[in-house]
Amino acid sequence: MNTPNKITVFRMFIAPLFLVIYFLNIEHKMLASALIFALGAITDAIDGRMARKNNIVTNFGKFLDPIADKMLVTAGFLALMQDGLCNIWIVMLMLTREFAVTSVRLIAAAQGVVIPANIGGKIKTVFQMVSLIAIMLIGEVNTVFSLGLPLAVISNVLLGITAAISVVSGLVYIFDSRKVIDFKS
């Protein structure tokens, strides 16, 4: 297994670690959670760049990287949902998008075609990760300085925008996949 793929696998372990930290009853849990989540987000940027730069992109990495991303981001959404900071419909939209795109990838794989993430999917992932980190950091600042910000409103607006970006990128991905796979077989 090459180094970028090892980094991707490492990110898969960060997702449950993030949840453990998030649900511990510790002071500054939002800050600690944001830092762990940010570590996962940074590994996402590192592994892809490293694989492309060193010309060691593998099918294993093309399949595993999006799964690692989904694990981390889903952990973030579920944590915020548990605390009332993410509406269940946002999670439903996000998961539906991911299941649809993954289904297209599976159809393609059955036909011997690997469809990597497109720019829309990468933008979606960056926006998801940045939004989740921002919400946790705003939550930390809100708690430490007793600002009384409507964190649930702020969070749901950011995540609603993220959901819209996700749905659009998923539709584009599915539409574009028609060019490389046969949906009739």
**Which CATH number does the domain housing residue 99 bear?**
1.20.120.1760
Predicted confidence at residue 70, as pLDDT, reads 92
How many domains, in total, are found in the chain?
1
**Cα gap 183→44, rounded to integer Å:** 31
165 within a domain of the structure (yes/no): yes
Neighbours of 93 (CB within 10 A): 19
Domain, as residue range, for 110: 3-177
Low-confidence ranges of the chain (pLDDT < 70): 185
185 within a domain of the structure (yes/no): no
184 within a domain of the structure (yes/no): no
pTM over 0.85: yes
Residue the block writes with tokens 């511990």: 24
Q: pLDDT tens across 105-158, in order?
A: 888 888 888 787 789 988 999 999 999 999 999 999 999 999 999 999 999 999
Predicted confidence at residue 185, as pLDDT, reads 66
Contact (Cβ atoms closer than 8 angstroms) between residue 4 and residue 50: yes
Contact (Cβ atoms closer than 8 angstroms) between residue 174 and residue 104: yes
The conformation of residue 84, written as its DSSP 8-state character, comes to: T
